[in-house]
Every structure is written in C-alpha cells, then in structure tokens.
A and B are shown apart, each in its own frame.
Chain A
C-alpha cells in the first residue's frame, strides 16, 4: 500500500482553501491550472508507459479536479476515515487520471506516477484499492462502480455518517445493465447522498455511442429511473461545482457532464482512435505545449 505525501497534502489543503475562498473567476483559473498540470502528468505517464487511455483521461480530468479540489471531504493522510466522502471511478480504464489526481492531492508521492504500469507497480492499468490509497473499490470491468457506490451510500446512511458518495461512469458504460439495476435501487432507497456523474464524451472504444447503442435521451432515461438530473458543461469548473451540490429533492443526483474526449489537445479531441492510442514523441511534445 502506498502512503501519503505530507507536504503534497499540505499544499493541496492550502490550494483547496484558496479555491473555496476565491471568487468564481479566481476559482476557475486555479482549477484550470490544476487540471492542466494533471493532464500533463497523464500525458507523461502514458507516453512513458507506452499505453493508457488518454482520451477518457482528458475528458474526466476537470470532473476529478473539481471533486477533489473543491467539493469532497477527504483526508489524504487518513484515506479510510469513517466519515469521509467517497469517490469511485467506475470507468477504471481511466486510472491514469485518477492516479494523477490522487497524487496531486497527497494520497501518495507524485514521483510514484513514474511507475505507471511498470512491472510490479502499485499503479496498475486499472485501480486497486489494496495498493493505492484513495481508491475505494477495484474497477475495470464496466458497470461495477455504480452498484458499489449505491451500497456505500446505503451504508453511510445506516451509519448516519453524513458521508456523500460520488461515482463517475463513462457514457458508453451506461450500456451495462448493472448500472440500471443500481439506479433503480438508488432511487428506491432515496439515496440523496449519492451523486452519479456520467462523463458524456459521446465516444466509446469503437465508435460514437449513438452509432453503437444509443443512450439518448439520457437525461429523460435517468429521470425516469428516479434521478434528480443536472446537465452541465463538464469542462466548466463553476458549473461543475454547482452541479455537485447536494440533492434538492431527496432523490439521488445524476449529473450528465457533457465533455470532449481528449479535451485540451487539438489532435486528440473528439477522435475515436484516441481511446487508447499512445502519442508519438513529436505528438507528446506538441501536446505538452498545448497543455502549458
């Protein structure tokens, strides 16, 4: 099990305070700077490892940044404290984005990111809670994170802990039946402490979602399953923060975050082949420039 980096955690705490204290423009600027640094880390990790899921990593980066730097109550130095807020990345193939975010939050040293997918690294291609603090459950096969989030939310209510539970699913992942089982359960149990965020980048591994097995009207479908639905620009920091506010209806919240797969790098954005393509040396340089 990796361990916390105290100085990184302290830096994160002060950044988080600045974000919370700042006016919307300052807040957005700080979060953008943070997200771009995370994207640069991800780019380096994937370039060095020669593998990874860059498109989905970049679409979810702003969501992760907002959750960890502006919304959730977590303690990187006590990652399993009982009344923590819980985060589950159901789209586990985007582990690179999660690792980079957790490291910048101080859950483990940023230098550990250099081992991404190297032999015997704790940083497997999909996250492992047994080895990586801040990971709540092991994901990778799709359609697993949301049911676990539902159980965690039920547990938090039984324990009266006040914890909130956030789970990010891919949009293609919403084709898995288990997610809809979980949504039925979430609304039946009135889990107002649960927020489901769909990273709606409209691309899945092989093609566009709507060409593969259409999800639209996703908002109406989620509403029909009892969710309090919010549709936002998944790259607008202040809108994302607003969307993460607690339920107003007593129902679980579903946030459809409209995102761009590969966000931030012109030649990666919204292109299906960049689901798990690895940039060449030249492309890596260009991407670094665009993210700087």
Chain B
C-alpha cells in the first residue's frame, strides 16, 4: 500500500522514451527481441533501436494487416516481436489479425499501441485510439496493459520479455507526471493501489491516474477519504480489487481516456453488478461518449470531463456532498 502525492505542477514526460530505452536495454541481452512497425520508426521512437539493431527492426511499410500477421509469424518462429504502431491503426485496421493471429492463435506478440487515447488531439477521431479497450477486452487470452507513467511503461516491457504472451500495451505520448517510483514492477492482472482511502474508490487508468490522485488530494482537504486504484492491467481484470472497493468503500468512480462502451468502467460495473453477496455501490463512469470535436489533448480531456476537478465533482455527487 503506497500513498503517492503528485503535485499538479510536477514535471511531465512522454512514455515513449522510456519504452524505447527499455526495449533497447532488453534487446542487448536477449537476441530474440525484435520490433515491427508500419513506417512509424520515428513516431514509435524506434530510431535508436534501428541504429543499434538494423536487422531486428522490420518495417513493413504502411500495411497494418500484414504488420500484425508478420508479428504472429515472428513469434511462431520463436522470436519476441514488439509490433509498434499508432494505436488507432494498430487496433482498428488490424483487429481481425489481432483476434485470429494473436489472441486466438496464442502467438506471443507484444502489440504496442503508440500515442493512444486522444494523444493526437487536433488530428481528430480518425487518429484517436479510444475504442481499443472495448475492442480488445472482447478477445480472450490477450493481456491489456495501460502504464500510467514511464516507470510503469518500462515494467510492462520487462514483463513482456520475461514472460512472453499475447499482450497489448498502451504506450502514452501525452505527457504525464511520474506516479510511481523508478524501477517499479507491475504484477500481471493486478491494479496498483496508488492511494488508500475508505469513503470511495477512484479506479483510473493511464493518463487519468495522476488526475485521480490530484482529485483524491483535494477531496482529502474536504474530509473525504478516496482510495485510488491504478488499473495498470485491464485484462486480466483485478476482480478482487474491484470487489474490495465495492465492499470496503461507499462508491466507485472510474476514469479512462477511452470510450465508455465496453471500457474500464464497463468492466468494473460488470463485476460490481454481479457481486455474490448482492452488495451495491453507486458508480460513475467517466470517459468518452461520442467522437471528439477539434481540440488539443488537454482541451479534449477537459471537454469530456476527465480532469481532476471533474473527478472530484463526481465524487461529491455520488456521495451526496455536492
């Protein structure tokens, strides 16, 4: 149990740098680590990887279906492929390949959704990856990892090499503050307790974790004790942590930079709604409900009610303290 304090003016970082540095470090000691991309050497931060391991970066060009199939084939040959592409194209264009070639075939491919969520801001919904949770949660046998900062991104990469299995990792581009210690580990299928609390639980993922912590800090000043769970893994889902939150605290709020139809909130609600002892807690699910209008990532997170203030307001509302 750790209580993390993240200041709203803390420095922020792009997780892709940590991703690339960790991948290179692992590739130096494990010659089975290879990368595959779709003309995204730069945007996937693979330039240094390519320079050091030119034969082990397979750039298939702008051909995402083939890219995922090639990843499955590399795994079939015995390698550990990290398939890197902008989230929307990786998951949207290649969804059937992810289903058939990776999840159903159980080929140990590490799918790296770069710049997920609304990281591409003004480029619009074609370039946003906010459906990935909904689409990929429906695929049995595929892990979904959503690191909340650079250290967790490194942990996700280490986990993938140490225990290769079909996995999707969101590799964030929108700058976020550190919410965990350097060299932190991530336990497969477990939420991270980012802050203890007893009045309600905020379950946040990715970019929303630091915001949930800010919200918890401001709620504490009002006498409200908020537990914050970092949903670092969406699949396998930490059902025990959700059940504990429902039984031990009075309400649950979820926050995700994703569409709410089938995402984190829906996953949590599905567990809460089926508790064996019939326990019931009020919930609020924060996320996207329509395609984004034009705006920067920060603007859109505000637009969709995904700031710390929105989370605090939802807490007050659900606890009837508004």
Contact B70 A150 (CB under 8 A): yes
**What chain A residues lie within 8 Å of B71 (beta carbons)?**
151
From B55, B58, B78, name the one whose CB has the most chain A CB atoms within 10 angstroms.
Answer: B78
Flag whether B125 is at the interface (Cβ < 8 A).
Answer: no
Among A129, A146, A158, A159, point to the contact of B69 (Cβ < 8 A).
A146
Convert B96-133 into 0s and 1s, putting 1 for each residue whose CB lies closer than 8 angstroms to a CB of A.
Answer: 11001100111100000000000000000000000000
**In the complex, chain A residues 114-158 whose Cβ is within 8 Å of any chain B Cβ:** 128-130, 136-141, 143-144, 146-156, 158
Contact B100 A155 (CB under 8 A): no
Contact A158 B34 (CB under 8 A): yes
Interface size in chain B (residues, C-beta < 8 A):
31
Flag whether B77 is at the interface (Cβ < 8 A).
Answer: yes
Contact B76 A130 (CB under 8 A): no
Flag whether B273 is at the interface (Cβ < 8 A).
Answer: no
Complex Cα gap A130–B166 (Å): 13
Interface secondary structure of B, over-half rule: helix
Query: Quick one: closest A residue to B104, CB to CB?
Result: A138
Complex Cα gap A226–B79 (Å): 26
Convert B65-97 into 0s and 1s, putting 1 for each residue whose CB lies closer than 8 angstroms to a CB of A.
Answer: 110111111111111010000000000000011
Q: How far is the CB of A208 from chain B (nearest CB, A)?
A: 26
Among A129, A143, A177, A185, point to the contact of B105 (Cβ < 8 A).
A129
Flag whether A33 is at the interface (Cβ < 8 A).
Answer: no
Among A129, A146, A154, point to the contact of B106 (Cβ < 8 A).
A129
Convert A162-178 into 0s and 1s, putting 1 for each residue whose CB lies closer than 8 angstroms to a CB of B.
Answer: 01000000000000011
**What chain B residues lie within 8 Å of A163 (beta carbons)?**
77
Contact B58 A154 (CB under 8 A): yes
Query: Quick one: closest B residue to A136, CB to CB?
Result: B76
Interface residues on A, range: 35 or more
Among A136, A138, A184, point to the contact of B61 (Cβ < 8 A).
A184
Flag whether A242 is at the interface (Cβ < 8 A).
Answer: no
From A150, A153, A156, A181, name the one whose CB has the most chain B CB atoms within 10 angstroms.
Answer: A181
Contact B77 A138 (CB under 8 A): no
Among A143, A148, A188, point to the contact of B76 (Cβ < 8 A).
A148
- Given the known inter-chain contacts A129-B105, A181-B63, please indicate yes or no for A147 contacting B100, CB distance below 8 A: no
Contact B76 A137 (CB under 8 A): yes
Q: Give the number of residue pairs across the A-B interface with Cβ within 8 Å.
A: 114
Complex Cα gap A181–B93 (Å): 13
Contact B104 A147 (CB under 8 A): no
- Given the known inter-chain contacts A149-B73, A150-B73, A154-B58, please indicate yes or no for A144 contacting B63, CB distance below 8 A: no
Query: Quick one: closest A residue to B71, CB to CB?
Result: A151
Contact A137 B66 (CB under 8 A): no
Among B66, B74, B77, B106, point to the contact of A130 (Cβ < 8 A).
B106
**What chain A residues lie within 8 Å of B68 (beta carbons)?**
147
Among A136, A141, A185, point to the contact of B60 (Cβ < 8 A).
A185
Q: How far is the CB of B236 from chain A (nearest CB, A)?
A: 18
Q: How far is the CB of A180 from chain B (nearest CB, A)?
A: 9
Flag whether A93 is at the interface (Cβ < 8 A).
Answer: no
Complex Cα gap A188–B237 (Å): 41
Q: How far is the CB of A226 from chain B (nearest CB, A)?
A: 14
Query: Quick one: closest B residue to A140, CB to CB?
Result: B100
Q: How far is the CB of B190 from chain A (nearest CB, A)?
A: 26
Complex Cα gap A149–B101 (Å): 11
Complex Cα gap A129–B69 (Å): 15
Convert A47-87 into 0s and 1s, putting 1 for each residue whose CB lies closer than 8 angstroms to a CB of B.
Answer: 00000000000000000000000000000000000100010
**What chain A residues lie within 8 Å of B61 (beta carbons)?**
184-185, 188
Flag whether A97 is at the interface (Cβ < 8 A).
Answer: no
**In the complex, chain B residues 206-265 whose Cβ is within 8 Å of any chain A Cβ:** none
Contact A158 B56 (CB under 8 A): yes
Sample of 5 A–B contacts (CB below 8 Å): A148-B69, A148-B72, A163-B77, A178-B65, A185-B61
Known: A151-B70, A163-B77, A184-B63. 20 other contacts (CB 8 A): A82-B78, A128-B104, A137-B76, A141-B96, A143-B65, A144-B69, A147-B72, A147-B73, A150-B70, A151-B69, A151-B72, A151-B73, A151-B76, A152-B74, A154-B73, A154-B77, A178-B69, A181-B63, A185-B63, A185-B66
Please give the residue numbers on chain A whose beta carbons come within 8 Å of chain B beta carbons, in ascending order.
Answer: 82, 86, 128-130, 136-141, 143-144, 146-156, 158-159, 161, 163, 177-178, 181-182, 184-185, 188-189
